[in-house]
Amino acid sequence: MLLQVKDLKSGYKGVPAIHDVSFEIKKGEIVVIVGGNGAGKSTILRTISGLIRPTGGEIVFDGRRIDQLPAHEVVAAGIAHVPEGRWIFGRMTVQQNLILGAYTQKSEEERLKTLEMIYRIFPRLKERREQVAGTMSGGEQQMLAIARGLMSRPKLLMLDEPSLGIMPKLVMEILEMIREINQRGTTILLVEQNVHAALKLADRAYVLQTGRIVAEGAGRELMEDERIRKAYLGM
């Protein structure tokens, strides 16, 4: 098991946002957590990445407790978090943004090697490496944010709603890219409101409702679940 989250509780200023959330990710999987706006998806990712402290429960990554580690040590342990809303540096070039993602790698040589690997996966970013990031389209900025996450060479890549605010045509492209990243050996935790697209990609999925996991199963299985279809897929 690569990640085990057990009875996790977390929130903001004493107000709980997630309650006893438990789930697991095996090495090599794409696991998706789907849920509506405000369900607690981002809170789960922020808690795993050490941006907020859990008020209860355990997070074990690669055989080691990480729930008390500061965020930079979580990155060093092998988890990258691509936050909601992208947060790229708009006035810096594509390449400068990418280099920033490699800060855990000590040598210049190692950083450049990682950069070359990233450019093989994202040829469009290579073409645009000198472009000021803020002048790219929303979809391209999302690609850059994902690529920057990969620059730390994570074992687990966590993606927070990469399809949000992106043209439908590009959404499929981004999801395909996530599949490719996974096939190249990175385990994926994706949280999404775009249930239909996300469940197609998922090996396994969990449904989060007001801070609690209410269903779990294989992606396809959940897509056929009557309750899920009614609640999330408008069918």
What is the full DSSP assignment across the chain? --EEEEEEEEEETTEEEEEEEEEEE-TT-EEEEE--TTSSHHHHHHHHTTSS--SEEEEEETTEE-TTS-HHHHHHHTEEEE-TT----TTSBHHHHHHHTTTT--SHHHHHHHHHHHHHH-HHHHHTTTSBGGGS-HHHHHHHHHHHHHTT--SEEEEE-TTTT--HHHHHHHHHHHHHHHHTT-EEEEEES-HHHHHHH-SEEEEEETTEEEEEEEHHHHHH-HHHHHHHS--
Beta carbon nearer to ligand ADP, 71 or 132: 71
- Interacting stretch for ligand ADP, rule CB under 6 A, among 40-48, 129-137, 169-177, 215-223? 40-48
Query: Closest distance between ligand ADP and the C-beta of residue 47, in Å?
Result: 9
38 forms part of the interface with ligand ADP (CB under 6 A): yes
Of the candidates 17, 21, 42, 66, which one interacts with Mg ion according to CB under 5 A? 42
25 binds ligand ADP (CB under 6 A): no
Q: Does 14 bind ligand ADP (CB under 6 A)?
A: no
Should residue 165 be labelled a site residue for ligand ADP when binding is judged by CB under 6 A? Answer: no
Contacts with ligand ADP by CB under 6 A: the residue count is 10
Cβ of residue 18: shortest distance to ligand ADP, in angstroms?
7
User: Contacting ligand ADP (CB under 6 A), which of 3, 34, 42, 223?
Assistant: 42
Q: Which does 40 bind (CB under 5 to 8 A by kind): ligand ADP, Mg ion, none?
A: ligand ADP
Least CB distance to ligand ADP at residue 39 (A): 4
Query: Which parts of this chain interact with ligand ADP (CB under 6 A)?
Result: 12, 17, 35, 37-43
Query: Which parts of this chain interact with Mg ion (CB under 5 A)?
Result: 41-42, 84
